């Protein structure tokens, strides 16, 4: 004989699980595909917050020779906080472009690892800039030389906020006057920087 009460209980449990899983999917799939809404926090407040975050990550980034990255987000009142810090590799760091519906991402950030003369680490990369433009969010970069950059996705420019030594600097860092970055780059100018002959330092 079939126990309909037992079957009904199982169906109710299954329905609840589907609702929970569906809600979690919606929350986790809330990405930058949503309509762009300007942050409530001022750009100055965001830059100050990100600068502090990056400065605190520099020593670990240098010691382990890896990039570290994350997001800054704000709540409905404009209060800023960060996601977990994601651990990358020597010359890359993968963001998790998912966040809850009740927060708004306002910036991405990453370090450029330790000093390595094989990499052009003192300016944002083409990939850095293209990624920020694609996901419509400003990106911030710290370099082994202690530079602090902002990728302005709306104007498609990388802007050096402050120069060599304004953030913690890798003790192994050696400046290269022949390859010193300028204050701003467009995507085309970054491509030109990378394709020019390697500087002789």
- pTM value surpassing 0.85: no
Comparison of pLDDT for 135 and 59, the residue scoring more: 59
Pick the CATH number of 43-195 from 2.60.40, 1.20.1050, 3.40.140, 2.60.120: 3.40.140
- In 29-119, alpha helices (H): 43-64
Do residues 189 and 124 touch, judged by C-beta distance below 8 A?
no
Per-residue pLDDT tens digits for 13-35: 444 444 333 444 333 444 445 56
Give the HSE-up count for residue 162: Cα atoms under 13 Å, Cβ half-sphere: 11
């Amino acid at each position: 004989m079939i126990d309909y009460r037992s079957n009904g209980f199982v169906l109710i449990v299954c329905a609840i699980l589907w609702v929970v899983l569906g809600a979690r999917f919606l929350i986790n799939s809330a990405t930058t595909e949503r309509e762009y809404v300007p942050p409530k926090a001022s750009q100055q407040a965001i830059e100050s917050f990100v600068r502090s975050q990056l400065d605190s990550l520099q020593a670990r980034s240098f010691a382990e020779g890896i990039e570290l990255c994350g997001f800054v987000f704000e709540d409905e009142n404009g209060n800023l906080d960060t996601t977990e810090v994601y651990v990358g590799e020597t010359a890359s760091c993968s963001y998790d472009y998912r966040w809850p519906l009740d927060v708004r991402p306002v910036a991405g950030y990453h370090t450029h690892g330790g000093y390595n003369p094989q990499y052009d680490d003192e300016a944002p990369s083409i990939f850095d800039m293209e990624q920020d433009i694609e996901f419509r969010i400003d990106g911030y970069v710290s370099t082994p030389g202690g530079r602090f950059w902002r990728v302005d996705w709306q104007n498609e420019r990388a802007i050096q906020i402050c120069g060599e030594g304004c953030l913690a600097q890798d003790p192994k860092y050696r400046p290269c006057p022949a390859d010193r970055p300028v204050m701003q780059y467009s995507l085309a100018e970054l491509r030109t920087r990378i394709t020019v002959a390697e500087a002789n330092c």
